[in-house]
Structure 1
């Protein structure tokens, strides 16, 4: 196996990510023997050289569908429901949901916000993902929030109060078939702690260039959000800081989001192509809360 490229992740995060990938590859390429094969082999060995008894058919047993073979470790890549091995993430995460449907209009936002589940491993994430309604099917004016454990998806939370958000709005009709993948890729980038990896533009000669870190991992991302609206979908990436002095580092997150995660064309404004109200833009939470008509400073990539 080739040596991994240099990573900007902390050692614990890099080790967890590498372990998950290795386990997935090994399980898919070299599946362990089934219980039937194991019993047959043992029966043949025990019966060999014992005269007539050795000529008998070996006794075999079969693992019933849905049951884990206790002789072999199983990851979520092999069995989405009955896995026995977990690969820890660098940070625990929590999924939240709220819906501003008619029955919720009388409630405050805090009352409408529901904590779905917390998780801390690759396997638990896929267990969650495979059992929730995708963004394309949730009611308009509903939102999924995926935030690091202990951080509430609110401006007032101390982890968010001095930060901001990258945001993109995508027309519902044009992106209804791709929003689910965009949200999945965004979540994977978040829990994999890859948004801060320096963005390097791919080329035809090197479509998967190795990133050489230019700055240390700073735990900048607090959470990601997908929102369903009547005319569009919106995805947000929330950060801890929004200072002008951090512009280069925060813009790198925006580049990774737009080009690396969403796979959009470099140099082409989405607003020019799809006639949407915004491109991939960054604005501080403080400016987001400004009154209507107030000039807001925005960064774009």
Structure 2
């Protein structure tokens, strides 16, 4: 799916759309029947359905301020989409990473998968991790988002989603997959990320299973909590 080719048309259509400012106002429960009805309506309207439905989420906490709420409670749903046009309407209204405060996490996950290790789709998986200078992280994040939405990465069905962790010194991009023990799929995902992102060889990519993150407390969740 060539997601980029539809951007200009979608931008023209979204001139009357409101900005995404209240994540809590979006629905949180998606029923299979509703998804089928939506796809039927999209096809009749001449829209271009994506292979997967996606959801944008974010987390944000004020540095140095302790809270009684859990990490899961602080993950807020922004918006979901299931067509190329719907993606661009959403994406064009989202704040760019360079304008967001630190620490903030942006999440893009397939619908039905929460951006948590404990989710059944993630619990046996892991993530590829790349660290970026803040000046360039937004560009690599956008390239990755387009590749995920357009189903352009190898072993795409094994991918759960991606996270951009905005931090004071550098930003951290991670791509989550379902099965950390499938070495072939894990390495193929690495190659696909490097290819689609045109990642220079100087950048180091590290793969880490989620269970290892739970054991050593070096995860993005704890980075986020520390601020």
SS at match of 1:219: helix
> Unpaired segments of 5 or more residues in structure 1?
1-16, 29-74, 197-216, 271-278, 294-301
Greater helix fraction, Structure 1 or Structure 2: 2
Aligned to 2:167, which of 229, 249, 255? 229
> Unpaired segments of 5 or more residues in structure 2?
18-44, 219-227
Q: 1:94 to 1:237 in 2, by over 3 A?
A: same
Q: 1:24 to 1:228 in 2, by over 3 A?
A: closer
Question: Aligned equivalents of 1:218 and 1:249: distance in 2?
Answer: 9
Q: Structure with the greater relative contact order (CA < 8 A, sep ≥ 6): 1 or 2?
A: 2
Please give the residue correspondences for 1:1-301 in structure 2 after superposition, counting only pairs within 5 Å: 17=1, 24=6, 75-76=9-10, 78-81=12-15, 85-102=46-63, 105-106=66-67, 107-172=69-134, 176=135, 178-196=136-154, 219-243=157-181, 246-258=182-194, 260-265=195-200, 268-270=201-203, 279-291=204-216
Measured against aligned partners, the alpha-carbon deviations of 1:124-143 in whole angstroms (never above 9, x if no partner) come to 11111111111111111100
Over aligned residue pairs, what C-alpha RMSD do you find? 2.6
Q: Greater CA radius of gyration, 1 or 2?
A: 1
Q: 1:24 to 1:190 in 2, by over 3 A?
A: closer
8 A contact 2:6–2:84 mirrored in 1: no
Q: 1:257 to 1:149 in 2, by over 3 A?
A: same
SS at match of 2:113: coil
Question: Aligned equivalents of 1:82 and 1:100: distance in 2?
Answer: 31
TM-score by length of 2: 0.75
